[in-house]
Amino acid sequence: MADAFSFSLQGTDGAARLGEFRTPHGVVQTPAFMPVGTQGSVKAMRHRDLEEAGAQIILGNTYHLYLRPGDQLIARRGGLHRFIGWPHPILTDSGGYQVFSLAARRKIAEEGAEFRSHLDGSLHLLTPESATDIQARLGSDIAMVLDECLAFPATQDEAARSMARSLRWAARCRARLEQIRDGQARDVGATNPGQAQFGIVQGGVFQDLRDQSAEATFGIGFEGYAIGGLSVGEPIDLMYSVVGETARRLPEAQPRYLMGTGTPEDLVECVARGIDMFDCVLPTRNGRTGQLFTSEGRLNIRNAKYAEDEGPVDSRCACYTCRTHSRAYLRHLYMAGEMTAGALNTLHNLSFYLDTMRRIRDAISLRTFDRFRQEFLRSVSRLSLDS
Ligand SMILES: [Zn+2]
């Protein structure tokens, strides 16, 4: 079952790549955007809304699912896909990012990260081995290694030490997954024998560290490779440059995932630099606060100027929200605190993101990606329609 995951590169246009990967729960076309389903649910969305919007894969957060309802409970219910009723591919993170965000409530050592639950203050230890076991019980199609999340700014020495620790942790995660695959860890109760595991390249904004990390992570050997530790406050041009240079060091025959990024502009700019997979909370989080992404820029539905605006959020969008409702009605729902405001706004934002990915894939396949990129950035990167 170790080859249940496979990636095929189907075309390129410059550094942009068109491909697809196969998982035990279906095929995902790349470049792909993964909506974030923190608690086994993409906030305010029903799964059928996600399917209609074109989501082929969602992301689950290990930290949250481990604490509540618990990975053991989910394994007893047959794994995450079955528990949440989503039969399509799922990627889980390692839980590390949330633990590192706990700041005062966590302690990091070589063994792993000790932390206190944000729910009840209980003490837990997340190690490379336990992060692997938890994800094996959840049974996601793609599991991520536990890595150390470095804050920005960091000195080169700090970044080097952290990168080296992440490599040692990556090797431990891989060794643990191999034990599980070989049947030496039956007590873990893995629910998806075809689960793939991705390594994560670290190294802050220091390209020589990124290069070392990419080479050593590839040396351990994973089904795919992620670039972590970006979009943490560094200047955008530096982020793009690190993404481009690092992607060039990663193997062509495997998928490349840029973690936790970004804006619609970031998606296009990072596809142009060779990235295949993205996740970000922006479309869902901003949907709930009334900020909507459109083909002409962002708008804030709270703005009084939409109070009697009969037009749809985006005249070029075919989502249910845009087909059915006016900006005036959406503004009213938001101002009245109606639950449907979050749902309709999130549906539009995710539809816009997923439609952007479809247009990106079409442009790469027609080898017109560069023209698409110029036109997209011209129309979308106006910061706000409200200013
Ligand atoms: Zn729409």
Ligand 1 centre distance from Cα of residue 349 (Å) = 7
For residue 109, the tally of other CB atoms under 10 A from its CB is 10
pLDDT tens digits, one per residue of 124-173: 999 999 999 999 999 999 999 999 988 889 999 999 999 999 999 999 99
* Catalytic residue flag (residue 309): no
Task: Specify the pLDDT at position 381.
Answer: 65
Three-point CA angle 370, 241, 230, nearest 5°: 115
**What is the rounded distance in angstroms from the CA atom of residue 65 to the CA atom of residue 76?**
14
Ligand 1 centre distance from Cα of residue 63 (Å) = 31
**What is the rounded distance in angstroms from the CA atom of residue 288 to the CA atom of residue 117?**
25
**Nearest 10 degrees: Cα torsion 345, 31, 275, 218:** 120
**What is the rounded distance in angstroms from the CA atom of residue 177 to the CA atom of residue 198?**
11
Residue 297 region by backbone torsions, left for phi larger than 0, else alpha for psi between -120 and 50, else beta: left
**CA 94, chain centre distance (Å):** 12
pLDDT tens digits, one per residue of 268-310: 999 999 999 999 999 999 999 999 999 999 999 999 999 999 9
**What is the rounded distance in angstroms from the CA atom of residue 273 to the CA atom of residue 142?**
23
Tokens of 324: 């059915």
Ligand 1 centre distance from Cα of residue 153 (Å) = 37
Whether the pLDDT of residue 386 is over 80: the answer is no
**What is the rounded distance in angstroms from the CA atom of residue 344 to the CA atom of residue 38?**
19
- Which of the following is catalytic: 93, 133, 147, 276? 93
Ligand 1 centre distance from Cα of residue 313 (Å) = 6
> Which of 127, 32, 140, 150 is CA-nearest to residue 93?
140
* Catalytic residue flag (residue 266): no
> Which of 220, 213, 226, 301 is CA-nearest to residue 256?
226
Ligand 1 centre distance from Cα of residue 295 (Å) = 10
User: Which of the four pLDDT bands, split at 50, 70 and 90, describes residue 205?
Assistant: very high
Ligand 1 centre distance from Cα of residue 120 (Å) = 39
pLDDT tens digits, one per residue of 274-285: 999 999 999 999
User: Mean pLDDT in the chain?
Assistant: 96
Instruction: List 8's β-bridge partners, or say none.
Output: 20
Assess contact for 46 and 304: CB atoms under 8 A.
no
**What is the rounded distance in angstroms from the CA atom of residue 281 to the CA atom of residue 297?**
18
- Which of the following is catalytic: 147, 279, 314, 355? 279
User: Which of the four pLDDT bands, split at 50, 70 and 90, describes residue 3?
Assistant: low
Say if residue 251 is preceded by a cis peptide, omega within 30 of 0: no
- 176's enclosing H/E stretch is helix 156-181
Task: Specify the pLDDT at position 241.
Answer: 98
